[in-house]
Amino acid sequence: VRYELYYWPTIQGRGEFIRLAFEEAGVPYVDVAREKGADVLTKVLKGSLGGTRPFAPPVLKSGKMVVAQTSAILHWVGPKLGLAPKNDAGRFAVHQHQLTIMDLAAEAHDTHHPISTSLYYEDQKPESKKRSARFVSDRVPKFLGYFEEVLGTRKFLVGSSITYADTSMFQIIEGLRYAFPKAMKRFEKKIPRLLGLHERVVTRPGIAKYLASERRIAMNEDDLFRRYPELDV
């Protein structure tokens, strides 16, 4: 089975949640825009792959199936990659967590784009400061506090083995640490169990190999998580 991922080639972004799932599973995928350039995405967004025309990347294609929306993609391939239970209850538990994680990712994005994605960060700095302050004081504790309780004393978020909800939680923690290093340093004392999960994910052979490879793009200020020291309050 050939999997083709279509995502922006110079950022981790939302595509990273998909990349991490494939890397953990050790299932090969082609990161098409990294091989062919970002122009291919323009065509994909016009519907060149067939199927339901995507609004935004990431998009995953396999055979005739073309799926956009990060959570929908993972819901589709999760069980095939061995990263989601096959039964409905377990599969939807993982899907529910992924959707919540994507809500948190969107709020992290909105700390540097609180007014509009179509404006530069520099054009919305005062609003970004206000939004970031509430994000780190209220929203991060609410989201991560929830996941800390859900994880409890278990090893993984759902069931007894790793799922893509766990690789996604790893990525969220990585992103928040990158964007808000000072705030996270203080807050992390409150999420020891999630840090244990982060450690379990980072030491998985597939993930460790990926993180050490050139396939892992460095976080940067065009990305979903951005480090602007003035926002790390």
Ligand X SMILES: N[C@@H](CCC(=O)N[C@@H](CS)C(=O)NCC(=O)O)C(=O)O
Give the footprint of ligand X on this chain (CB under 6 A): 13-14, 56-58, 69-70, 102, 117, 224
What is the closest distance, in whole angstroms, from the C-beta atom of residue 192 to ligand X in the complex? 29
How near is the Cβ of 186 to ligand X at its closest, in Å?
Answer: 28
**Hey, how many other C-beta atoms are within 10 angstroms of the C-beta on 116?**
10
Residue closer to ligand X by CB (options 15, 85) is 15
Residue 109's nearest CA partner among 227, 8, 224, 230 is 224
Which is closer to ligand X, CB of 171 or CB of 191?
A: 171
Nearest distance from C-beta of residue 8 to ligand X, angstroms: 6
From CA 177, how far away is CA 4, in angstroms rounded? Answer: 29
Q: Nearest approach, Cβ of 189 to ligand X (angstroms)? A: 30
Of residues 58 and 78, the one with the C-beta less far from ligand X: 58
**Which residues, 6 or more positions from 93, have their beta carbon under 8 angstroms from its beta carbon?**
85, 158, 165
Q: Is residue 231 exposed (0-12), middle (13-18) or buried (19+ Cβ within 10 Å)?
A: buried
Tell me whether residue 13 or residue 114 sits nearer to ligand X (CB atom).
13
